[in-house]
Structure 1
Amino acid sequence: MQYIAPIGIGILYALLMSLVREPHRRRLNAVTVAGAGAAYLSGGGMGGWEFPFTALVTYVAFRGLESWTWIGIGWLLHTAWDVVHHIKGNPIIPFLHTSSLGCAICDPVIALWCLRGGPSLIEFVRNRRRSPSGAPGTARPARGGPH
């Protein structure tokens, strides 16, 4: 469960963000990845390296205001930082030893969604339901019609 739950959290994140319309969805995600980039500052597990990392993710998030690709890069950077913190034994949530590991599993799920342009997963599901083959633009035959 320790490895599966973070994947579900990443998918849930993308689903919830799908409720936000564009361009606000992209901008909100840019702000979110900026916040994630500063999440380790209070713990200071990497000493002075926490500051350049936060500055780097802030720059990436700024670029993300106009680009999903940059937001995805930000989440991948955060994934790497999660791994470093997990290995060093300085978790993002001090009283939850495997929290950085969970974050390192969750963040790439979010990154993949972002690198695909942060599409609405809700619309994706709706479109799949409407078309029998799942291809956009095809309609499912009406029920109850002549046989």
Structure 2
Amino acid sequence: MKNLIFVLGMAAMAACQSAPETKNSGDSIKANLQEAGQQLKSAASNAGDYLQQQKDQTIDTLNSRIAQINKATEELKKKGDKKSKEASRKLEDLKLQMQKEIDEVKAASADKWDSTKKAADVVAKKSERLWDDFKRDFKDLFKKD
């Protein structure tokens, strides 16, 4: 009986001594989980910042082209002849297409960004080509008098 009490007493002491280690271990695990959570939030924030930077850059490129179109359209309105009106219509169509692409870029989610970015790049390249063609085709309208 004494031996049994002795063994139970030793087991109780061992359990008491291991409890603080378990608590410390639990605290350590909790701290590690919190740190991992913070790192995950940071990574998500960085990815979000990168996405927003890419969106802003794409929108700036398209807005720059729209500004050129607006300036050219204003010059054409001053002339008022048939060829100027035709050129203005073509520019307005291009501008509407670019504005639509800007709206799509603004609304793009992270998982659809790659396809949206490709589409925006295609529109930007197409607009550059069309702009160059337009300037070539209607160069006589933009000569300084």
Tell me the TM-score normalized by structure 1.
0.41
**Larger helix share, 1 or 2:** 2
Tell me the TM-score normalized by structure 2.
0.41
- More RCO (CA 8 Å, sep 6+): 1
